[in-house]
Structure 1
Amino acid sequence: GLVSYISEDESVSIMVNEEDHLRIQTMGVGIPMMDLYRKADAIDDMLESEVDYAFDEKYGYLTSCPTNVGTGLRASVMLHLPALTFGSRIQPLSANLSRFGFTLRGIYGEGSVPLGHIYQLSNQLTLGQTEEEIINNLDELKERIVEEEVEMRSWLESEHLLEVKDSVYRSYGLLKHAYRMSLKEAAKCLSDLKLGTDLNLIELEGFRFQKWIQLIQPAFIKMR
Structure 2
Amino acid sequence: MNISLIPSVEHIKEEELKDKVVIVIDVLRATSVIVTALANGAKEVIPVLEIEDALELKSDMELLGGERKGLKIDGFDLSNSPLEYTREMVEGRSIIMTTTNGTRALHKAKEGDKIYIGAVINGVSAAKKASDEKKDMAIICAGTYGKFSLDDFLCAGKIIYEVLKRGEYELDDFAAAAYMAYRDNKHDLISYVKMAKHCKYLISIGLEEDIKYCFTEDIADVVPEYRDGVIKL
| TM-score in terms of structure 2 length | 0.27
Between 1 and 2, higher relative CO (CA 8 Å, sep ≥ 6) is seen in: 2
| TM-score in terms of structure 1 length | 0.28
Which one has a bigger Cα radius of gyration? 1
